[in-house]
Amino acid sequence: MSTINVNVPSDIKDKANLLFEELGLNMTTAINMFLRKSIDEWAIPFNVSAKRPNRELSEALQEGEGILNGKIQSKSYNNVDKMFDDILSK
């Protein structure tokens, strides 16, 4: 037998304990179930994804929508040299 020490926020631990008690489990049994299922599937046994954009991307998307909707004024250029001159002059 081996011991694993895991740090989790107190509220998460408390909520998990309530859930596991309702299921007739304790924390050790639930974690062992997770580990065994992970090994059995040789994967995390649930979908892990990052479907939400991070804050920076979310802000950029909102800015793009604002430009498209005409709520935010933006400059446009027909000449890349003029664009760089404008950018570098700031």
Task: Say yes or no to pLDDT of 9 above 80.
Answer: yes
**What's residue 47's pLDDT?**
83
Three-state secondary structure of the chain: CCCCCCCCCHHHHHHHHHHHHHCCCCHHHHHHHHHHHHHHHCCCCCCCCCCCCCHHHHHHHHHHHHHHCCCCCCCCCCCHHHHHHHHHCC
pTM comes to 0.53
* Per-residue pLDDT reduced to its tens digit, 54-90: 889 999 999 999 999 989 988 889 999 989 998 898 7
Each domain of the chain, given as residue ranges in start order, spans 10-41, 55-88
pLDDT category of residue 23 using cuts at 50, 70 and 90: very high
Tens digit of each residue's pLDDT (9 = 90 or more) over 30-39: 999 999 999 9
